[in-house]
Amino acid sequence: MTDAPSLEAELERARDLSVSELADAIESIGFECTRCGACCKGHEREDGTGTEPHTATVFPDEVRRLQSAASGERGRDGDGDAVEYEAADDGSSDSDADDGSSDSDADDESGASYDWRDVARPMPYGVVDGEDGPQGETFEWALQTDACGDCAFYEEVGERADGTPKGGCRVHEDRPLICRTYPFSVALGGTSQPMGEAVDEAGMVRAHECEGLGRDISREHAEELASALKERAVRELEEAIGVRDNYEPVDVGGVVVYDSEGPKRPDGTPVSAEGAGADAHADSDGDT
Overall number of domains in the chain: 1
Average model confidence (pLDDT) across the chain: 82
Higher pLDDT, 282 or 218: 218
User: Is 287 part of a structural domain of the chain?
Assistant: no
Look at residue 209 and give its three-state secondary structure: coil
> DSSP for 13-40?
HHHT--HHHHHHHHHHH-B------GGG
Query: What's the start-to-end Cα distance of the chain, in Å?
Result: 64
Tell whether the model's pLDDT for residue 282 goes beyond 90.
no
Boundaries of domain holding 32: 7-123+142-248
Q: pLDDT tens-digit profile of 86-105?
A: 444 444 434 343 433 344 44
| Whole-number pLDDT of residue 46 | 77
**Among 33-47, 105-119, 171-185, 212-226, the least confident range:** 105-119
Within a domain: 153? yes
Residue 13 lies in a domain: yes
Residue 136 in domain: no
Rg of the Cα atoms in the chain: 20
Residue 271 lies in a domain: no
DSSP 143-204: E-B-TTSSBTTEEEEEE-TTSSEEEEETTGGG--HHHHHTTEEE--TTS---SSS-SEEETT
Give the pLDDT of residue 50: 82
For residue 280, being part of any structural domain is answered with no
pLDDT digits (tens, 9 = 90+) for 33-68: 999 999 999 988 878 788 889 999 999 999 999 998
Residue 182 has what pLDDT?
95
For the cut 90, the answer to whether the pLDDT of residue 84 exceeds it is no
Residue 190: is its pLDDT beyond 80?
no
pLDDT value of residue 36: 95
Instruction: Say yes or no to pLDDT of 288 above 90.
Output: no
Question: Quick one: 270 exposed, middle or buried, by C-beta within 10 A (0-12, 13-18, 19+)?
Answer: middle
In a domain, 169, yes or no: yes
The arithmetic mean of pLDDT across residues 214-234, rounded, is: 98
Average pLDDT over residues 70-97: 46
